[in-house]
Amino acid sequence: MPGRPLFALLVAALALAAAPAAGSAYTISAQPHVSEAAGSVTYTVSRTALEAANPTITVAGGGARPATPGADLGAPQPATLSYGAGETEKTVTVPIVNDAADEPPEDFAVTVSAPGATTAQTTTTIDDDDITVDVSPPATTPEGGTATVTLTPRAASARDVRVDYATVAGTAAPNADFTPAQGSVTWPAGDTSPRTVSIATAQDALDEDDESFGLLLASPADTLSAPAATITIADDDGGVATTSASRGDVTPPRLRLGLLRTSGPRVTLTVRCPPAERACRGRLTLFNVPSRRASVQALRSERRLAKATFRLAGGRSRRVALPLSAATRGLLRRAHSVRVRAYAVTTDAAGNLATTSRGATLRFR
């Protein structure tokens, strides 16, 4: 029966030709790079005409600098692809989180998998669009002189860069010892030239200790080398000058901040003055962390949400409440979940000034 082996071989060859090749049931388009400011990146997932399974899509950090799902990118949308009869292509979108951190490029992998099919995968690099602005305060400013804080971007940006500032009291008092100031400094795209913030100090005839105040700094989209600058006014009146150095205390107060929590119409946190200090006093300011993907338009740029003052003895702790206005509560409730950061500007009994911050993601109902 010489025809039977030949017939069996023909049947086997036809079966092999009809079966999809291993590893070729699904493919995913390559997207080597995406800007952090893009908002999302879209991939095309193709399948062979005979593949019946619906694949799942997963993302994970990869490469030398892995991106973090949830922080740098969101979950794929959709997570499962459903093909109709005759369909061979579907798209999947991965959200990209645009934060204000100046960081290196980060990688993530998108994987397509289905029962009985070989995995398909592609890797994408998120190119950061943020820069760091260096903050350089003066060493000291003579009484009656002008304190100048210099701000310098480390690199050119493809967009405008903005830094907001506001003075805060320390041992130096506003109006009596310095002229309060607040405003913004802006660099157009591509500009890295230094900019300055100038604050006038007052001349008096009092023989007093050197005094200090702070300049709070914030950027809606970029990173600052320091969230505040300490400015010291050097007294120039008669007598022997007494400074924090001559008193022997030159250590900034290292205030400890506890967890941020919501409590009705306010946000609360615990502050602790170090035991080595005689006393701590200062101001707490709460800001949202801006995100261009925020569901509420007003929270896509930085806003001051609340403020409060505190005073406590060394080694003691106190729960501080930051009251939220009705309008602010409305914005936060619309957003439901908001990333916030509290900044503390603290002065100790010797006049040393320091800044501390604490961040958290809070839910508002």
When mean pLDDT is compared over 52-61, 168-177, 321-330, the highest value belongs to 321-330
Between 243 and 93, the higher pLDDT residue: 93
Q: What is the CATH number of domain 250-365?
A: 2.60.40.2550
Q: What is the pLDDT of residue 242?
A: 46
Q: Which amino acid is at 331?
A: L
CATH 2.60.40.2030 applies to domain 25-127 = yes
Q: How far apart are CA 327 and CA 305, in angstroms?
A: 10
**Mean local confidence (pLDDT), 185-214:** 85
Tokens 């100090």 locate to: 201
Of 358, 355, 282, 268, nearest to 319 by C-alpha is: 268
Residue 348: pLDDT over 50:
yes
Residue 208: pLDDT over 80:
no
- Over residues 9-20, the pLDDT tens digits come to 444 444 444 444
Of 80, 62, 82, 81, nearest to 72 by C-alpha is: 62
Q: What is the pLDDT of residue 10?
A: 43
Contacts of 6 (CB under 8 A, 6+ apart): none
Q: What are φ and ψ of residue 4, in 5° steps?
A: -70, -45
- Over residues 290-334, the pLDDT tens digits come to 776 778 878 877 788 999 999 999 999 999 999 999 999 999 999
The model's confidence at residue 252, banded by pLDDT at 50, 70 and 90, is: confident
Between 97 and 3, the higher pLDDT residue: 97
**Burial readout 134-163 (b: 16 or more C-beta within 10 A, e: otherwise):** ebebbeebebebebebebbbeeebeeebbb
Contact 194, 152 (CB under 8 A): yes
The model's confidence at residue 118, banded by pLDDT at 50, 70 and 90, is: confident
> Exposed, middle or buried: residue 296 (CB in 10 Å: 0-12, 13-18, 19+)?
middle
Contact 140, 234 (CB under 8 A): yes
Average pLDDT value over all residues in the chain: 83
Q: What is the CATH number of domain 131-243?
A: 2.60.40.2030
Q: In Å, how far are 21, 30, 48, 260, 300 from 45, measured between CA atoms?
A: 17, 10, 11, 43, 32
- Ordered strands of the 141-142 beta sheet: 141-142, 228-234, 211-218, 161-168, 182-187
Domain extents in the chain: 25-127, 131-243, 250-365
**Mean local confidence (pLDDT), 338-348:** 86
- Over residues 57-68, the pLDDT tens digits come to 999 998 888 998
Is-same-fold flag (25-127; 250-365)? yes
Residue-by-residue DSSP string for 235-292: P-SSS----TTTTT--PPP--EE---EEETTEEEEEEE--TTSSEEEEEEEEEE---T
Q: What is the pLDDT of residue 151?
A: 96
- Over residues 125-161, the pLDDT tens digits come to 998 877 889 999 887 888 889 999 999 999 888 788 8
Q: What is the pLDDT of residue 269?
A: 95
